[in-house]
Structure 1
Amino acid sequence: MKILVTGAQGFVGRNLVSQLHNIQEGKARNYGISGESLTVYEYDLDSDPSELDIYCKQADFVFNLAGVNRPKDEAEFMKGNFGFASTLLDTLKKYNNTCPVMISSSIQAAQDNPYGESKRAGERLLFDYSKETGAKVLVYRFPNVFGKWCRPNYNSAVATFCNNIAHDIPIRVNDPSVVMNLVYIDDVVDELISALKGKEHYVEEYCTVPVVHTITLGDIAELIKSFKQMSDTLAVPDLSDAFTKKLYSTYLSYLPKDKFCYPLKMNVDDRGSFTEIIRTADRGQFSVNISKPGITKGQHWHHTKNEKFVVVSGHGLIQLRKIGTEEVVNFEVSGEKIEAVEMIPGYTHNIVNLSETEDLVTFMWCNECFDPEHPDTYFEKV
């Protein structure tokens, strides 16, 4: 299969091409396409126009993602959105190539403005081409698309907000109550690859991305602002919400390189250190504990609080004893064999570094963040 992608260096094009290359190289699974027989032709503004002839002659499927969103002159809307589509279809007809053709339109095609008119003209052109040639055509009216690699300060509020907030640049929200309908770039790419296999989704005559998120502009801005604070608070977003998960990944893709890494507070004493990594409102706390050689930590128990210990480096012993009994349950642990040990409520417990030379490094999860006002922690040796 030979696939032509026009606008290959644009936002949607770049994401689609990268995934098609993943399929080619066997890095992408569950797409039902053989990468061994996949060829991707990439065409963009800086391509040699003669390449379009070669690609249109050989293509088995065309994704026309080329277009103009914010030109200096409004006349460029029609040239970029209608004009190139016309050239593309004429070139396909030149070689009697009636392969399927997809075109990226916009929900603004329903609007009476220069951009909408140019998109609507491109749609009509494609439908007429289908009637004339019998070729299958797929017209996607995309709502707002967001995700990594989208150009900020251009035509995407999400990209602009993510970029500016990540770079400490003020944002302006003229009307926070404006309702946005958005599709995530990965969902767009998944749909386009489904279309490649003849499994596109429709709403009447137009193709559509089935996963759409609806949220106000103000709520988007507040969510992104909350992401900015998380390296300080050690919080993470509510990833059970699909839109929040996607928006957080999008925000991270705009971080400047000097914010890829941030310090954590190490609580250090002569026994070693204890460092919180993540604190969540409903999923507990994640930490790293380092014990010096020969050191015993813990020697306490909890009513309700419970923990999971995973030794990732060193050699140690975890001991538990039920309060009011004498039996001690022992677990010898090592970074050579990764396993989780439960700290059971009502059992006093400890962790002992058995090595005389190496630190014992333990990853710990607790079902609640530490609250000094209600620690639920009571000293008692195992």
Structure 2
Amino acid sequence: MKILVTGSEGFVGKNLRSELKNRGYEDIFSYDRETDEKLLDKYTKECDFVYHLAGVNRPENYEEFMKGNYGFTSKVLNLLKKHNNQSPVLITSSIQAKLDNPYGRSKKAGEEVIFEYGRETGAEVYVYRLPNLFGKWSRPNYNSVVATFCHNIANDLEIEVHDPEVELTLAYIDDVVEQFINALDDQVVKEDKYCKVPVTHEVKLCKLAELIKSFKESRENLYLPDMGDEFTKKLYSMYLSYLPEDNFSYDLTMHQDERGSFTEMLRTEDSGQISINVSKPGITKGNHWHHTKNEKFLVVSGQGIIRFRDIYSEEVIEYEVSGDKLEVVDIPTGYTHNIENTGDTNMVTVMWANECYDPDNPDTYFLEV
């Protein structure tokens, strides 16, 4: 299948093209404002499907709205008619097509001309009235408040929240692209004559700003955002794409002594924390037990022995562990335990605890194994 994508270098175009390639579509005709206009005639002659994503959002004058959103759409459709090419055409419109403003009127005109084209030629047409979109490669300080907030907060710039109570309806770019690719097989979700993305998210502007700020703070307090919430998960993925290239990494606090080090990596509100423990050769750590706190140990480098003893028993249980054979060892409650490095190199252990460390309630009691 040969696929034409207009607006190929835009936010939606880049995400769509990358996923089409991921799914094995190789013949993609990319057309953008920098493309030689003569190629559009060739592309509209040969293509089997059209994604018409090109449009004008922020022109220098209002006349460009109609020229870009109606005029260019008409040009693409006329070229398809010229070549008697009845390929399906998918076009991106906007929920603002309902509004009586220059942008809305231009998007509405684009909708009408494509519906007329479908009636005249019999070609399948898909018109998506999209809400505000968010996701990677969205341009900040352009037409997306989400991109602007992510970019500014990630780069230590101020944001402006004019009306905190404004509620946004947002669609995530991966959900949009999924629907667009489904259209290749005529698998679309329709509401009346319009196609729609069934998964959207409602969020107030103040909540949006608060969430993105919490992503930045997570590098300091180590609390991972709530990945069980779909919107938070998607927004966090977007936020990371706006980090400055020299700021992908961040330091952790290493608690070091003659035995090695202990470093917290992640904290969560409901799933505990993950830490990295480094033990030097011959060193034994632990010799304590817990009432409710439980842990999982995973030695990823070096070798050692994990020992357990029920605090009311004299029997010692041993597990040999090594980075050569990755296995998780559960640390049960009511058992005093320790871990000894029996090798000649540092032993590195990934440790998970079911609760974050609380110095006021550590639930940790010293007792030799």
Does the TM-score normalized on the shorter chain lie above 0.5?
Answer: yes
Q: 1:376 aligns with which of 324, 348, 363?
A: 363
Matched, 1:160 2:148: yes
The aligned residue for residue 361 of structure 1 is: 348
Matched, 1:172 2:164: no
Read off the aligned partner of 1:12 and give its amino acid letter.
V
The aligned residue for residue 5 of structure 1 is: 5
Query: How far 1:22 moved relative to its partner?
Result: 1.4
TM-score, length-normalised on structure 2?
0.99
Q: Please list, as runs of the form range in 1=range in 2, the aligned pairs for 1:220-369 lying within 5 A after superposition.
A: 220-355=208-343, 357-369=344-356
The aligned residue for residue 132 of structure 1 is: 120
Matched, 1:216 2:204: yes
Off by >2 Å, runs of 4+ in structure 1: none
Identify unmatched segments of 5+ residues in structure 2. Answer: none
The aligned residue for residue 185 of structure 1 is: 173
How far apart in 2 are the matches of 1:304 and 1:201?
Answer: 49
CA displacement, residues 163-191 of structure 1 (integer Å, 9 cap, x when unaligned): 11111111111111111000000101111
Query: How far 1:226 moved relative to its partner?
Result: 1.2
Query: How far 1:202 moved relative to its partner?
Result: 0.7
Query: How far 1:105 moved relative to its partner?
Result: 0.1
How far apart in 2 are the matches of 1:80 and 1:236?
Answer: 43
Aligned length, in residue pairs: 369
The aligned residue for residue 102 of structure 1 is: 90
How far apart in 1 are the matches of 2:149 and 2:358?
Answer: 34
Query: How far 1:302 moved relative to its partner?
Result: 0.3
How far apart in 2 are the matches of 1:257 and 1:42?
Answer: 27
The aligned residue for residue 20 of structure 2 is: 20
- Where 1:229 maps in the other structure, the secondary structure is helix
Read off the aligned partner of 1:10 and give its amino acid letter.
G
TM-score, length-normalised on structure 1?
0.96
How far apart in 2 are the matches of 1:14 and 1:257?
Answer: 20
Query: How far 1:239 moved relative to its partner?
Result: 1.0
Matched, 1:119 2:107: yes
How far apart in 2 are the matches of 1:377 and 1:101?
Answer: 65
Amino-acid identity (%):
60
How far apart in 2 are the matches of 1:274 and 1:228?
Answer: 24
Q: What is the RMSD computed on CA atoms of the aligned residues?
A: 0.8
Read off the aligned partner of 2:30 and give its amino acid letter.
E
Read off the aligned partner of 2:216 and give its amino acid letter.
K
CA displacement, residues 308-340 of structure 1 (integer Å, 9 cap, x when unaligned): 000000011111111111121111010011110
